[in-house]
Amino acid sequence: MRGLKKSYGRFAALRGIDLEIRRGEIFALLGPNGAGKTTFVEILEGFRHRDGGDVTVLGIDPDHQPMALKTKIGIVLQSSGMDRYLNVAETVEMYSSYYPEPRPVAEILSLVGLEAKRDERVLRLSGGQQRRLDVAIALAGNPELLFLDEPTTGFDPSARREVWEVIKNLRGLGKTVVLTTHFMDEAQYLADRLAVIASGSIVAEGDPETLAGRNRMQATVRFTLPEGVAPPDRLNVTPLPGAIYEMGTTAVTRDLHDLTEWALGVGVELSDLRVERPSLEDVYLELTAEAAAESSESTS
Amino acid sequence: MNPLTQLRHQIRYINKAFWRNPASAFFTFAFPLMFLVIFTSLLGHHALRISPGRTIDVSTYYVASMGAYAVITACYNNIAIGLAIQRDSGVLKRTRGTPIPGGVYILARLVHALFVAVILVVITAAYGRLFYHSSLPTGVPLIEFLTMLLVGTLTFCSLGFAITCVIPNADAAPAVVNASILPLLFLSGVFIPITSTAPTWMVWVARIFPVRHFTLAMNAGFVGTTFNWMDVVVVAAWGIGGFVVSYRFFTWEPKR
């Protein structure tokens, strides 16, 4: 999609988004609440119409051929009910009956791990099980592309794990998955690629390891030295309280080599030796904070 | 995908869920039958003067009226409350994201409501026949009766769809639905026969809204009063109005 825009009244929910999602990948859209994640996916799903820009989903413009698109995608909404009085198998069968080429129900239930619950009424399922049933319903039409809007928001850790495992399994089916989340660990665990959205704009895009040059940012080498031993000046080491030393570096391999060579030479042990990179969370918080500051400047 | 097959499947699932849901099975299905038993048992063989020189058993009156009441709950209450709950919980939005045409989904609800209404009318008539020897319409009155039944079912479904447009959320649904229909049921003589002593304003309210017209036409075949095609026309007009409102304002997404 290019230059995707959407406003609600005077509020610009999306301010021109350019993004390409590749077939077969799990793509995460990461952003704080109110950043425009749901608006974004609902435009792709055909629920909302865009105000500007071009969008193609599986070669289809969602505004022009919504029906053609609906047979090829599966949607898990942020929160959506189902008939509480049908059982699990009936629910999936019902949704299967809407599609021209449904996937066999038994196969879907085993994919999401609900075979044992097939005769259980929906109202007796736990939160995690209902979420897995959501995914099962989204798989009913054997879609090429799956949208998951905040699939684990509001779940306890074990229910989150359940849902994560189900999503991981989808990779094996060759489906393209687009998920939105505001959890860093979720994006890191599941996504092949991710984009960070804040205040209606994409502020960074990449794979979880290298997002926003995370791998190239200055790393910190930290270690402790025995009392009375000082590191050589050429290594640019900063002493911290408690005989701990810190060395900032953008060339980790070389500087670490120098450090260990010196340590072996003088015969000291670098206890607690650690190399730390900024976490995805650090990067994310920095990016979204910048965007929030910019957007409040531009509106005021 | 064949829309007719989709329709048949959908009705089957609606039907399953309907009977398993205690609220719908009780309030839609058992409620009118309970009233039928209470009214007829309580007032049984009293005579009721329906026109100068003509009296019938009160039981016959109630068999006919409760038939009409059953149709109204099966269509109006059932669809309005059911749909508002489905809209609020996101079932409708989810459905909107699948390839089933909206028309097929709505039609399935309508056909199912019609099905429930017909079962209720049949039970009501059979009950009247068995315990109170009420007469059943035959010949031309039967055709007139079936016409009103069909038109009435469609109208009260259509009004059910229309009222969901003003229901703000699922919690408010039963209140809005009952507040809109209960007074009318009383003012239209469904629960208590309206006699010539009724105040003028009440008569006018009954004349404007569809409930009285529907009840009169439904009763004609049972109690032997004249069937007036104007009643069918008024009810149908309300149905068309309901359709226009629903078509314009119906939403698939929760109102928040």
Residue A153 inside a domain? The answer is yes
**Cross-strand bridge partners of residue A27:** A178, A193
Both A123 and A253 in one domain: the answer is no
Both A203 and A245 in one domain: the answer is no
Both A181 and A95 in one domain: the answer is yes
Residue A284 inside a domain? The answer is no
Q: Is the pLDDT of residue B116 over 90?
A: yes
Residue A207 inside a domain? The answer is yes
Contact criterion met (CB < 8 Å) for B17 and A86: yes
CATH of the domain at A143: 3.40.50.300
Q: Is the pLDDT of residue A299 over 60?
A: no
pLDDT at A49: 87
Choose the final residue of a domain: A182, A213, A244: A213
Contact criterion met (CB < 8 Å) for B13 and A85: no
pLDDT band at residue A300 under the 50/70/90 scheme: very low
Q: Which residues of A touch B13 (CB under 8 A)?
A: 83, 86, 90, 94
**Cross-strand bridge partners of residue B127:** none
Residue A11 inside a domain? The answer is yes
Whole-number Å distance between alpha carbons of A49 and A64: 10
Which of A42-56, A211-225, B160-174 holds the top average pLDDT? B160-174
Contact criterion met (CB < 8 Å) for B16 and A67: no
Both A24 and A82 in one domain: the answer is yes
Residue A86 inside a domain? The answer is yes
Structure tokens at B35: 């009233």
Nearest-CA distance B107 → chain A (Å)? 15
Whole-number Å distance between alpha carbons of A177 and A44: 13
Whole-number Å distance between alpha carbons of B113 and B177: 16
CB atoms within 10 A of CB B191: 15
Residue A59 inside a domain? The answer is yes
Which residue would you say has higher pLDDT here, A242 or B105? B105
Contact criterion met (CB < 8 Å) for A81 and B99: no
Whole-number Å distance between alpha carbons of B217 and B150: 12
- Report angle CA A43, A196, A155 to the nearest 5 degrees: 80
Both A257 and A114 in one domain: the answer is no
Number of H helices, E strands in chain A: 9, 13
Both A87 and A192 in one domain: the answer is yes
Both A171 and A226 in one domain: the answer is no
- Assess B90–A contact: CB distance below 8 Å, yes or no: yes
Q: Is the pLDDT of residue A237 over 50?
A: yes
Nearest-CA distance A84 → chain B (Å)? 8
pLDDT at B238: 96
Instruction: Using CA atoms of A189, A190, A196, A198 in order, give the dihedral in degrees to the nearest 10.
Output: -90
Tell me which residue range forms the domain holding A78: 2-213
Q: Name the 3-class secondary structure at B51.
A: strand
Both A94 and A133 in one domain: the answer is yes
Both A192 and A76 in one domain: the answer is yes
- ipTM for the assembly: 0.88
Both A170 and A232 in one domain: the answer is no
Residue A95 inside a domain? The answer is yes
Both A137 and A206 in one domain: the answer is yes
* Backbone angles phi and psi of A267, in degrees to 5: 75, 40
Q: Tell me which residue has tokens 């059943």.
A: B136
- Assess B10–A contact: CB distance below 8 Å, yes or no: yes
pLDDT in tens, A97-120: 999 999 999 999 998 889 999 999
Output the average pLDDT for chain B.
89
Both A189 and A238 in one domain: the answer is no
* Sequence-ordered list of residues with C-beta below 8 angstroms from that of A110, at least 6 positions apart, any chain: none
Residue A160 inside a domain? The answer is yes
Q: Is the pLDDT of residue B79 over 90?
A: yes
Share of chain A above pLDDT 90, in %: 24
Whole-number Å distance between alpha carbons of B63 and B73: 15
Looking at the 3D structure of chain A, how many domains does it have? 2
